[in-house]
Each structure stands twice: as C-alpha cells, then as structure tokens.
Structure 1
Amino acid sequence: MDQRLISVIVLGFGFMFLFTAFQTMGNIEQTVIDSIKYDERTFEGDGYTSLAVIYATLSISNWLIPSAMSKIGPKIAMLLGSITYCFFILTFLWPQTWLLYAASAILGSGAALIWTGQGIYLSKCSDDSTIPRNSGIFWALLQMSMFFGNLLVFFLFQGKMHIDKNTRTLVFSILASIAVIGIGLLSALKVSNSSLRPTDDGIPEVHQSPKQAFISAVRLFKTTRMLMLSVSFVYTGLILSFFSGVYGACIGFTRAIGEQAKQLVGLNGIFLGVGEVLGGVVFGLLGKQTAKWGRDPIVIAGLIIHVASFFLIFMNLPDSSPFGDTDEVSYFHPPLVYVAILCSFMLGLGDACYNTQMYSMLGGVFAKNSAEAFSIFKFTQSVAAAVSFVYSSYFGLRVQLAILLVSSVCGTICFCLVEWAVKRSSALIRNDVDSTGHKE
C-alpha cells in the first residue's frame, strides 16, 4: 500500500471521528434545543438558526480560505478547523443563546478551513486514475460517522419524549471526546512542502500570494464550467440541510409515530449513514469501472433515488412536522416507520452518488486549481444550506420537498452537461496525441 493511499485512509478516519461528533450533533440539535428550552426558560436559541449561521459564515469564509491556504497549508487548516467543531459541541454543556450563535459563527469559519484543506490534501494524494477510488474511500469512511453517534442517541433517547439535562450532558461529553480523537488523527497526517502527487503531473504547488489566490478563485468562479457546476453545488447544499437538520426533526416531531418518535431520530441518522457508506464503498471499490462509464450515470442514479424518496416523504409525514410536535398526519395514516427509515437510507445513498462524483470532478478536472475549486464548491453549497435552514423555519415540508425536486433536476442537468464537455475535451486531446504519434 503506497503512502498516498495510507494518507487518504488516515484522512478518512480523522474525519470519521470528528464528524461522528458533529453530524450526530446536527441531527439532534433541533430536537435537543426543544428540550433545553423547556428546562431553561431563559434559553431562546433555535437549531435551524444556529445551522443557518454556521453555513452563512462558512460561505463568506470560503472566499478568504484560498488566501489563508497559501500561508498555512492544508494540514494546519484542517487542525484549526477541527478544533472549532469540538468547541461548538462543548458549548451545549452550558446552554446560552448568545454562546450558541457565537460558536456557530466560529464553527462556520473553521468548516471553511477544514473542508478546503481536505479537498487540497485529497487532490494531492491522487492522480487522474486514483481520484475516483480515493474519493469513494474518503466518502465511505466519512459517512461511517453516521453510525456510532446516532447509535448512541438511539439507545440513550429510548422511551424519552423529553431529553433531560443528565442525558444531554452525557451525550455531549461523549461526542466531544470522540471529536478529540479525530483531531489527534488529523495531526498525524503526513505533510511536506511538496505535493504527494507524482512530481511530473504538472500540478503546481501552493505558492501564490494571498491576493493572487483570491483573484484566481474569482476568475475560476466566472468560468462557464464552474458556473454550471455551481447549480449542482446548490442542490448538494439544499439536500444537505434537509437530511442533516430537517428530516430527522420531522420524524421526531410527528406524534402519530408514537413514543418511539424521538428515538427514531437516531435510527434515521444510522440509516442515512448506511446509504452514504454503501455509495462510497461501491464507488470506491469500482473506481476504475465507474471512471470508464463516466460520472453522469451515477449522478442520474442519485437523482432517481432522491426523487423517489421525496415522494415517499410527502406521503408519509405531515406538512407541519418541521416546526415542532404535531398531531397532524399525511396520506399514510398512521405514518409508516419503515417508510421513514427507508427514506433515510435513500437520502444517504443518493447524496453519496452526488458527492463522490463532485469530489471526483473537482479533484480531477480542476486539480491545478484545487484550493480555489473546493472553496467555490463549499461556498456555493454552504450559501444554499444557510438559505435552506432559514426557510425551514417558515416553509412547511411540502414546499421544502418541491424546492428540492426542482433543484435536483436542474443540478443534475448542469452536472451532466459539464461532464459531457469534459469527455469531449479529453477525446480531442487523445486524438491529437494519437495523430501526433502517427506522424512521428
């Protein structure tokens, strides 16, 4: 096993532990805050607003990150970013409204650092032939984070309609400890001033000045391919906010499910993770085969899976379920638990289809501008996620599903158009090389 693959695996495990803590936190945040408000009458925080602040700050910070990356490099960026995740979780041990939003803003800046650093590091550990495999391996390891934390929640929330202070303290303490393990693994990553890619691949090192890095990011954002991909990035942000913060709350707030509703929030997270990991493993193990087929069939499969899940969610959960405990029902009466959990799995699997191919596209096609490309990706995605968390406080479930349906179709079309353009360009280059070779 070569050093680059080992580095990808260590990177994946570091993110797995860190996001075991954070993704579990995001999945239960609105549900837990509802219980905190009951116990702490002075606490007025809102989970959707907190998540909106995170992604709004992340979107702004992403324009500054390429400049910072030219100074500190991807490893230090990931370490600094990971510390902000741990800090955010620890603030729930002392629930204060101002602290919730301050920690959310700090986390947004840290998220910009860690994700751009991750994108650059993954790109440096890959070449055109290994980027699909490495993207799949990283994604599978990352999404294993959905299992362990949510399994903990599933057992600790069992039979609880109200999440008491002792239970909350235990959960937050365990999650913070898990985050510390992730920080330790990221600190163990191999790093050098030179790229981990082969030296003859033509990928320049990060040597731009902060001003040049910012200008380069703006120029890349204005290109036709990146503007079209941004439509796809918007969809990944909208669906991210839906399955990471809204859908679990919808299940937990639907009283018609019964006393197990709150417990199912954890099970929802577990099956989201099953879908994500399955997608990552398949596209990781079949990286060379999927590279031959192209990225577009996988993204189209993700569209079909997500559209089917939107229909089932529409039929199963009430329109008012994003806002709080409700006695309303939808077309399935009573709501079907197995359908709710099946949709969790489908949301995760479809998301893996999109994200593994996004990483493959950015790490392969835009490898020479990896810092700028991943910053634009996270910027666009996080703006969409922030907007989604804002409207989640006002729009019912059906309007949210309609927005996801339209954006998924538009995002898939734009991604496929870019992929087809890349294929045509690659074919022309190969033909030119072949013709030159014949002449010689």
Structure 2
Amino acid sequence: MGFEGNLDQESATPPKQSFFRYNSPLVQVSIIGLVCFCCPGMYWALVGMGGGGQVDPTAVNNANTALYATFAIFGILGGGIYNVLGPRLTLASGCSTYALYAGSFLYYNHYHQQTFAIIAGAILGIGAGFLWAGQGAIMTSYPPHNQKGTYISLFWSIFSMGGVVGGFIPFILNYNRTDAVSVTDATYIGFMCFMTVGALLSLAILPPSKVIRNDGTSCTNIEYSSVSTEAMEILKLFLNWKLLLIVPAAWASNFFYSYQFTNVNGALFNLRTRGLNSVFYWVAQILGSIGIGYVLDFSLPSRKMRGYVGIAIVALLGTAIWGGGLASQLKYSRHDLPKKLDFRDSGSDYAGPFVLFFSYGLLDAMLQTLVYWFIGCLADDSETLSRYTGFYKGVQSAGAAVAWQIDTRKVPFLSELIVNWSLMTVGYPLLVVLVKLAVKEDEDGEEGAKKAVASSFAH
C-alpha cells in the first residue's frame, strides 16, 4: 500500500522539461510572435506611413473604419471561435486576410477607387478578430504564472520587429524619391509577401493541450468547446466587472493611432522620413514593452505592488508625452500644415518631432503590455483568456473605428489630441481599482495552478 502511494506521488510530479522544445511555451509564444511579425507587424508599418503611403488619407481612413467596425464584433466573438475551431484553423484563416488588405492599396495606387480597400478592410477586421483572440490566449495562458510580463514582452518585441522591418521597406524603396507623395508598387508587394509567410507560419502553432511547461505540466487540459457554450460565455463577458474596469484603457489603446500616424507622422514628414520614423516607432515599442514587462514581473516581491508601480509609471510617462504632444500641436493645424520635414535636410527642426513620435511608440507598448498583464492575472487557462483577450480587442477596435472616422470628418488636430489624452487618463484609476480588488499575489495564483494540475492528474 505504501509502495503504491509513493508511486502515485512520483507519477503526479512530471519531470523537468527543456526550454527550447517545440512544444514549450517559449517556442510557441515565439512562433505566434513571428506570425504577428509578418501580419499585424507589416500592417502597422503600412498604416504607420500615414495615409497608407498615399497622399490623401481618406481611403485608408475609410478602410480602417470598416476594418475596426468588423474587428470590434469579431474580436469579441474571436475567443469563442478559437475555443471551437482550435488555434491552427482560427489563426490561419485570420492571417490570410492581411495580404488582401495590402493588395487593395496596390490596386488603389493604379485606379484610385477606394471601394476595394474598404471591402478588404472589413474582411481584415474579421480575420484580425480571429488572430488576436488566439494570440492573446497563447500569450497570456502558456507562460508560467509568475513570468507573464516577460512572455508578453517577448511576444511584443518579436511582433514589433515586424514594424521595424516593415518600416525599412518604404524607407529603402522610396529613399531617392524625395518629392514622392505615394509609395511604389514594390512597397505593397513586399508587405504582401511577408503577410503570406505569416499565414503559412500560423500552421506551426500547437493546440494548447499539447504545450508543456518546463516543470512538465500541461498548459491546459480543456478540450474544444461547443458553439452554445461559447455564445453563453461571451454574453457573460459584458457583465464581468473585472473586464468592465479595463474598458476605458482598452478603448483608448488603439484610439490614438489615427492621430499619431496620420496627423503627426503623415502631416509633419515627407515620405521617406515617415518610413524611417516608423522603424524607430516600433523600436520604441520593443524598449517600452521590455521595460514595463520587467517592472511587472521582477521589480518588487508583491504582485499587487508591481501592478500599482506599473500603472504609476505609465500614467506619469503618458502625462509627460501627451504634454509634449500638446506643445508640438499648438504649432500647426489641419488647415495650416508646416513644410514637410526630412531626416537629412531639416537638421535640428527634425529632432523634436522625431522624439515625440518615438515617445508615442514607447507609451503605446507600455500601456498595452500593462493591460495584457492584468488580463493574464485574471485567469490561467487558455479557454477563459481567449474570451478575455477577445473582449479586450473588441472594445479596443470599437474605439479605433470611431477614431478613424473622426479623422475622416476633418476634426481639428488639437481636439483629437485632447480626446486621446483624456481617454488614456480616465483608464488609470480604474486599473488601480482592478489591482486592489482582483489581482492576487503570486502565491495565491501558484496555489490555484497547482490545484488545477493535481485535478488533471487525478482524472
């Protein structure tokens, strides 16, 4: 009897595993990072040029309004779809829509008809909802309980490198076209090639039940869900007070892109300089995510205190950066645009606006890493977290849809800046409430994880 008890106890403690196995959280999070490097990373490099690389931003504004309107719906539904279809089918179908979007601007380069771009944007919104719900589930549920900030930073760094490389594409291909107003066909073709590779790479993602942490435990033992179950669980998200506290930060976290990309990068700089700025915007994203990820995982023994410190850092930095943005914005308006700046010819006049745009990228990554970390603190299983991150992306996209349409309506630049700054500021105190009421200390989370593992072995 004693022998059997010892045997059961030993079998319930899985052996340690290598970090670099194909089915390890590190490798799987890195793969989803590469998928997003190729697809959303290139999308953001394209949008980051201002006007999608076109002289008139109307087409990209309308396309992105359609994109985020459908993204808002399918972002929320995406978690349930991921739980029903599994990662490969969900991610591959989502990624396949990105190349179509880039191709629509190749078409626009020749025919200047925005209907195709708007339709492609709406289709991309559906695909993006699938992709980001799956990405969020993988990024927040696969890592060990006490290293979620580190893995979020790892993903964000790989994903942001897509923006870095994507920024070099228009910069290099348009380097000698100092007076150009729209990018070459080769620029869009380059984006399409990367996006196609990303769709193929998504097939390398394993189902959650096959991913094993380094201590030998499975990330999740939950099997595919049913449509009726997911429909009910998605409806419950709108009554979840923890998620409702995240809504203002989620709404704000993509709202500022239309202002930053079109009315700062697009309004102040010439074409080749916008490509260079885009490179450094995404370099800033890498630095911001790594910095705040370290604070959230390693800065203090208490998990709650790390959350408070993270909010304080983002709030203080955000106030300073938007204050600098206000100082810059007071110098020009939608109807009084300055001469386009060039990184080689404008000298010191280029430095200040460049640092501002770089700082916007830094703040974006810090805010989104912070919110993802909070979401990761609310649960550990991929089924629940796919719904939570889908809800986050849905709210985020609804805000972006409104923002892109606001810019299409030619709202004054200063009004857009004030709205963006205000929306971000409203989110900070509610995140403090979330930390106080919902974030558990590391020991509590680890204990819950151990009980879940023990239960899975018992069955």
1:22 aligns with 2:48: no
- Please point out which of 240, 264, 287 is paired with 1:223: 240
2:179 matches 1:161: yes
Q: 1:40 maps to what in 2?
A: none
Equivalent-residue separation in structure 2 for 1:178 and 1:412 (angstroms) = 36
Aligned mates of 1:273, 1:231 — CA distance in 2: 24
Partner Cα separation in structure 2 for residue 304 and residue 179 of structure 1: 36
> Where do 5+ consecutive residues of structure 1 fail to align?
38-44, 253-260, 434-440
**Letter of the aligned partner of 2:45 in structure 1?**
T
Q: Could you tell me whether the CA contact under 8 Å between 1:140 and 1:281 is conserved in 2?
A: yes
Alignment of structure 1 residues 3-402 onto 2, 5 Å: 3-28=24-49, 30=51, 32-34=53-55, 46-95=59-108, 96-158=113-175, 159-163=177-181, 167-191=183-207, 193-194=209-210, 196=212, 205-252=222-269, 261-284=270-293, 288-290=297-299, 292=301, 293-317=305-329, 321=333, 326-327=337-338, 336-368=349-381, 369-393=384-408, 394-402=410-418
Moved more, 363-372 or 406-415: 363-372
Over the matched positions of the two proteins, sequence identity in percent amounts to 17
How far off its partner does 1:309 sit?
Answer: 2.2
| Distance in structure 2 (CA, Å) of the matches to 1:348 and 1:299 | 17
SS in structure 1 of the partner of residue 134 of structure 2: helix
- Contact residue 57 and residue 109 of structure 1 kept, 8 A: yes
> Residues of 1 paired with 2:219 and 2:282: CA distance?
36
CA distance in 1, matches of 2:338, 2:147: 51
The alignment's TM-score, normalised by the length of structure 1, stands at 0.84
Q: CA deviation at 1:214?
A: 2.1
* Structure 1 counterpart of 2:107, one-letter code: W
CA offsets 1:182-236 (integer angstroms, 9 cap, x no match): 2233222333655545786895625332122122122133122111111111111
1:229–1:141 distance in 2 versus 1, CA, 3 Å: same
Distance in 1 (alpha carbons) for counterparts of 2:239 and 2:348: 46
Q: Residue 405 of structure 1 is aligned with which of 418, 421, 435?
A: 421
Indicate the larger mover: 223-232 or 196-205.
196-205
For 1:204 and 1:126, how far apart are their aligned partners in 2? 15
CA-to-aligned-CA distance 1:303-343 (integer Å, 9 cap, x gap) = 222322222222224676557x83489xxx99932111111
Q: CA deviation at 1:142?
A: 0.9
Q: Which residue of 2 aligns with 1:438?
A: none
Q: Distance in 1 between matches of 2:441 and 2:298?
A: 17
Change (3 A) 1:286 1:304: closer
Q: CA deviation at 1:46?
A: 2.0
After TM superposition, give the deviation of residue 388 of structure 1 in Å. Answer: 0.9
- Helix, strand or coil at the partner of 1:371: helix
Sort the Cα spacing of 1:54 and 1:291 in 2 relative to 1 into closer, same or farther, 3 A.
farther
For structure 2, the residue ranges without an aligned partner over 5 or more in a row are 1-18, 341-345, 449-459
Q: CA contact under 8 A between 1:62 and 1:375: conserved in structure 2? A: yes
Q: Deviations over 1:70-110 (max 9, x none)?
A: 32112321111111011111122222321111100000000
Q: TM-score scaled by structure 2?
A: 0.80
Structure 1 residues 429 and 305: CA distance shift in structure 2, 3 A: closer
Change over 3 Å in CA distance of 1:216–1:124 after alignment to 2? same
Secondary structure in 2 matching 1:205: coil
Per-residue deviation at 1:376?
Answer: 0.7
Q: Which residue of structure 2 lines up, in the alignment, with residue 41 of structure 1?
A: none
- Cα deviation, 1:114-134, whole Å, max 9, x if unaligned, reads 000111122342131121111
Q: Could you say what the CA RMSD is over the residues aligned between the two structures, in angstroms?
A: 3.0
Would you say the 8 A contact 1:133–1:286 is kept in 2?
no
Given that residues 132 and 291 in structure 1 are in contact (C-alpha distance below 8 angstroms), is that contact kept between their aligned partners in structure 2? no
Shift of 1:245: 4.6
Rate the CA distance shift 1:208–1:377 in 2: closer, same or farther, 3 A.
Answer: same
Query: Structure 1 residues 49 and 226, CA, compared in 2 at 3 Å: closer, same or farther?
Result: same
Question: Displacement of 1:283 after TM fit?
Answer: 4.2
Instruction: Quote the Cα distance in structure 2 between the aligned partners of 1:34 and 1:422.
Output: 47
* AA aligned opposite 1:375: G
Compute the displacement of 1:151 (Å).
2.1
- The CA distance in 1 between the partners of 2:212 and 2:264, in whole Å, is 39
Q: AA paired with 2:389?
A: F
The whole-number CA distance in structure 1 between the counterparts of 2:443 and 2:197 is 48
| Partner Cα distance (1:192, 1:202) in 2 | 6
User: Per the alignment, in what secondary structure is the counterpart of residue 146 of structure 2?
Assistant: coil
Q: How many residues align?
A: 409
User: What secondary structure does 2:194 align onto?
Assistant: helix
Q: Is the 2:47–2:53 contact (alpha carbons within 8 Å) kept by the matching residues of 1?
A: no
Q: Is the 8 A contact 1:241 1:388 kept in 2?
A: yes
The one-letter code sitting in structure 2 at the alignment partner of 1:304 is L
Q: Residue 320 and residue 212 in structure 1: after superposition, are their counterparts in 2 closer, same or farther (change >3 A)?
A: farther
In the aligned structure 1, how far is the partner of 2:300 from the partner of 2:389? 20
Distance 1:376 1:245, change over 3 A: farther
From the superposition, tell whether residues 300 and 351 of structure 1 become closer, same or farther in structure 2 (CA, over 3 Å).
Answer: farther
Give the direction of change, closer, same or farther, for the CA distance of 1:366–1:264 in structure 2 (3 Å limit).
same
SS of residue matched to 2:184: helix
In the aligned structure 2, how far is the partner of 1:163 from the partner of 1:143? Answer: 26
Secondary structure in 2 aligned to 1:367?
A: coil
How far is the alpha carbon of 1:387 from its aligned partner?
A: 0.7
